[in-house]
Structure 1
Amino acid sequence: MTASSDFQIRPVLPGEHEALGDVSIRSYLEGGLLLGGLDDPYAPNLRDVSLRAASATVLVAVEREGAVGESSGPALLGGVTLAFHGSPMAQLAGPGEAEIRMLAVDPAAQGRGVGSALAKACVAGARADAGTKRVVLCSQQAMTTAHRVYTRLGFERAPDLDWYPLPDVLLWGFRLDL
């Protein structure tokens, strides 16, 4: 699907669901984004990749063939969910919109452009759908690195999409018109 010099972006394989769940948990946990630690109410959503893949597009970043350390297959570096309007995975997406959710990069792979590549692949996937005119997403205020990625891709802050999944957690909305 999408490739860089050392990794590629492609749809998740069923055999990678557990590994992506683990990467997602590790990414959010080490990033301080699971406020309740492993007991955070969002943790089961991050871990259940099979549920995500049943009603949305789940993409992964994996080491390119021949990369160092892939004795048991290519290393999974991160993943993301792209949900179109009507999907049970879409929280914000209305008619004509797609939504980026659960973008996670293994902490050991951060700084390599994996998150940017995953987000770009979602935008490309949304553009490929003729009925999709906008991409939306929400992000914790503390995710400043992610905010820079989204801004570079042309997303704008959309305060009208801000919402509270929990009383003390405000998620910021972003949108990109295609």
Structure 2
Amino acid sequence: MTRDFQIRPITPAEHDALGEVSIRSYLEGGLLLKGLDDPYAPNLRDVALRAASSTVLVAADERGGEDGALLGGVTLAFHGSPMAQLAGPGEAEIRMLAVEPAAQGRGVGSALAAACVEQARADPGTKSVVLCALQDLANAHRVYTRLGFARATDLDWSPVPDVLLWGFRLDL
């Protein structure tokens, strides 16, 4: 499949736009259990905070020129970053992967996750990549499995009662 988007680092001018893409993605996916009042929503919107201590990558639509519309984004946090929830020593963590609902099915999420793996591989101290996803997100699990991730039950956790996040790990 030919990609009509590019994966690149976010620019500060795009922080607000990615925050809104993230909100729409999580809302449409049913991932914000309390809608816009969900306590996780401000974290999704605050891309500037993510970018201050992590790598934030975006997928930009090439059909829109150099400043094409954002189709999605992801945060890659290395161990020691305040954004890392799961990453231990020698690990990087994929967080807040979001794809604009209208762009889903174009391979944007897979490309963003693959770009994170490549960024982690480029860091000589990183030996594995970890992430978590809701246990019922079968499509996301398939994407991660295709990239070589395996279930890591030692990373499973519940951010709030009745919500189980499954952990995944890819050894580099």
TM-score (norm 1): 0.94
Query: Partner of 1:136 in structure 2?
Result: 130
Structure 1 residue 116 corresponds to structure 2 residue 149: no
Sort the Cα spacing of 1:123 and 1:71 in 2 relative to 1 into closer, same or farther, 3 A: closer
Query: Partner of 2:10 in structure 1?
Result: 12
- Give the Å deviation of 1:73: 3.4
The total of aligned residue pairs comes to 171
Secondary structure at the aligned position of 2:159 is classed as: strand
- Give the Å deviation of 1:5: 3.0
- Give the Å deviation of 1:72: 9.7
Structure 1 residues 33-52: aligned runs within 5 Å: 33-52=31-50
TM-score (norm 2): 0.97
Distance 2:36 2:119 in 1: 31
Structure 2 gap ranges (5+): none
The aligned amino acid for 1:45 is: N
Say what the alpha-carbon RMSD is for the aligned residues: 1.2
Distance 2:47 2:9 in 1: 12
CA deviations 1:44-72 (Å, max 9, x no partner) are: 101100000000000000011xx1xx389
Runs of at least 4 residues off by over 6 Å? none
In structure 2, which of residues 135, 141, 146 is the aligned counterpart of residue 147 of structure 1? 141
Q: Percent of aligned positions with the same letter in both sequences?
A: 80
Distance 2:146 2:3 in 1: 20
